[in-house]
């Protein structure tokens, strides 16, 4: 049975990549830079999005695509921030998918106003494993890891840390109350993914969020330059 299963999974990933390329072509045609935001449940992805969206990125209109197994809590949280937010629920398929895939994103594109935005931030389902295996047509993959999760996560979930173009280390406001060694965490991120940029942030206090805004602005400028 195992060999059949591997074959089915490989076929599914091939099909996913084909659809991801189609998504990417659509995004490029509209000049939209796309970021796939990943991290464990409770890492603080939505709180960071709220902080990011409080202040505009100069010249970059942002839209959000929210992926959740069930419900629209996160989309509701972001609804007050005057950016277009679209919800995808993965529970519609079997049992509840633990990640977004290219086809789910494609199905939602009809309701994303690609003509009215310059950047689409896609918040993936909270999970440190499978989202890293499914491209959705993004330009960059960004992950959030919280200091409350411990300094062992890069070693235990290396695929996710390797897949990312930026790692945000969140909840640093809690450092005085934790036993975690931040330097060791940063060292391990670098060991698993040498030279990946890291930004130390707090969704609660807003610390470091301007640097995230700068990184996103630069990503958009680079992508826009490449499309000309």
Residues that bind a second copy (CB under 8 A): 1-2, 5-6, 8-10, 12, 15, 40-42, 68-71, 73-74, 93-98, 125-130, 133, 146, 148-150, 152-153, 155-159, 171, 173-174, 177-179, 204
CA distance 225 to 210: 22
CB of 218 to a second copy, least distance (A): 29
Cβ of residue 139: shortest distance to a second copy, in angstroms? 23
- Taking the least distance from each CB to a second copy, the nearer of 112 and 143 is 143
CB of 213 to a second copy, least distance (A): 23
Of 188 and 220, nearer to a second copy (C-beta) is 188
Cβ closest to a second copy, residue 60 vs residue 163: 163
Residue 16 CB, shortest distance to a second copy, in Å, is: 11
CB closer to a second copy out of 10 and 116: 10
Q: String of b and e for 158-191 (b: at least 16 CB within 10 Å)?
A: bebbebbbbbbbbbbeeeeeeebeeeebbebbee
In b/e form, how buried is each residue of 212-223, taking b as 16+ CB within 10 angstroms? bbebbbebbeeb
Looking at the Cβ atoms of 109 and 175, the one nearer to a second copy is 175
Give the SS3 label for residue 205.
coil
Which residues does residue 145 pair with via DSSP β-bridges, in sequence order? 169
Q: Across the chain, how many H-helices and E-strands are there?
A: 8, 7
Direct distance between the N- and C-terminal alpha carbons of the chain, in angstroms, rounded to an integer? 49
Residue 31: CB minimum distance to a second copy, A: 31
115 with 149: CB under 8 angstroms?
A: no
């Amino acid at each position: 049975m195992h060999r059949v299963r591997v074959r089915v999974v490989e076929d599914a990933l091939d099909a996913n990549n084909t659809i991801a390329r189609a998504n990417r072509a659509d995004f490029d045609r509209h000049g939209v830079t796309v970021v796939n935001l990943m991290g464990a449940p409770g890492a603080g992805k939505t709180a960071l999005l709220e902080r990011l969206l409080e202040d505009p990125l100069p010249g970059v209109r942002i839209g959000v695509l929210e992926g959740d197994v069930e419900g629209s809590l996160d989309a509701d949280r972001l609804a007050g921030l005057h950016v277009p937010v679209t919800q995808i629920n993965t529970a519609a398929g079997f049992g509840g998918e633990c990640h977004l895939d290219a086809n789910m994103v494609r199905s939602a594109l009809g309701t994303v106003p690609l003509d009215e935005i310059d950047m689409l931030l896609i918040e993936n389902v909270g999970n440190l494993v499978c989202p890293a295996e499914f491209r959705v047509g993004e330009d960059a993959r960004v992950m959030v890891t919280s200091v409350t999760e411990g300094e062992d996560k890069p070693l235990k979930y290396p695929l996710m840390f390797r897949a990312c173009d930026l790692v945000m280390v969140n909840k640093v406001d809690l450092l005085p109350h934790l036993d975690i060694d931040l330097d060791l965490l940063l060292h391990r991120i670098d060991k698993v993914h040498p030279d990946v940029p890291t930004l130390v942030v707090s969704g609660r206090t807003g610390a470091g969020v301007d640097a995230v805004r700068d990184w996103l602005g630069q990503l958009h400028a680079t992508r826009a330059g490449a499309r000309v």
